[in-house]
Amino acid sequence: MARVPEAQPLRLTYDDYRAIPDDGRRYELIEGEIRIMSSPATQHQRVSRNLGVLLHLHVNEHQLGEVLTAPLDVILDRGTVVQPDILFVSKLRLGVISKRGIEGPPDLVVEVLSESTQSFDRGAKRQVYARYGVDHYWIVDPEARALAEHVRSRNDYALLATHTAPAVCRTALFPDLQLELARVFP
């Protein structure tokens, strides 16, 4: 008697992801599976904007590379496309920026936590970023008014420091930036 093979889960690709009709929602493709992202809350957007502006001003002034913000596709492979809140690509790696988005790992990814995304951002998404070679990962928590700075160590991250407002902090990636967290968290 022939055995019927078990059904394999459907794995989508970047082409499938791009074919999703524009319905006003944001999507990510994580290892072939579509993830619908809820719209960020006001506090999330304020924190993301404030941090993005401060990083952009510093990076632009020192000609370090480019800071970009969501929504923007970061294509890590055919089956993994993410949209981090903020990202940085160093000037030595600007070639990963294309018309489609970022094709490869950015130097820094920043996720601003929301109630609906925090466990995913701290867990599965963190693992994806580490596996695909994102060297610096910041998790920003608006409720705790804190920025947790992680640096990749093999296929995971080591926590370097947690900076809490109203502190002025320096990070491993931007040692010349005096980041005033009171300006990040409204």
pLDDT: which is higher, 39 or 160: 160
| pLDDT score at 116 | 81
- CA–CA separation, 87 and 65 (whole Å): 11
Q: What is the pLDDT of residues 77-92, one digit of tens each?
A: 999 999 999 999 999 9
| pLDDT score at 159 | 96
Query: Apex CA 138: angle with CA 132 and CA 139, to 5°?
Result: 110
Whole-model pTM: value is 0.91
Q: What is the pLDDT of residues 5-51, one digit of tens each?
A: 666 667 999 999 999 998 888 899 999 999 998 889 999 999 999 99
**Which numeric CATH code is attached to 39-184?**
3.90.1570.10
Q: What is the mean pLDDT of residues 139-143?
A: 96
Contact by Cβ (8 Å): 128, 30: yes
pLDDT: which is higher, 7 or 180: 180
| pLDDT score at 46 | 97
The domain spans of the chain are: 39-184
pLDDT: which is higher, 116 or 130: 130
Per-residue confidence band for 145, with pLDDT thresholds at 50, 70 and 90: very high
Look up residue 40 and give its DSSP letter: P
To the nearest whole number, what is the mean pLDDT of the chain? Answer: 93
Expressed in percent and rounded to 5, the helix, strand and coil fractions of the chain are 25, 35, 40
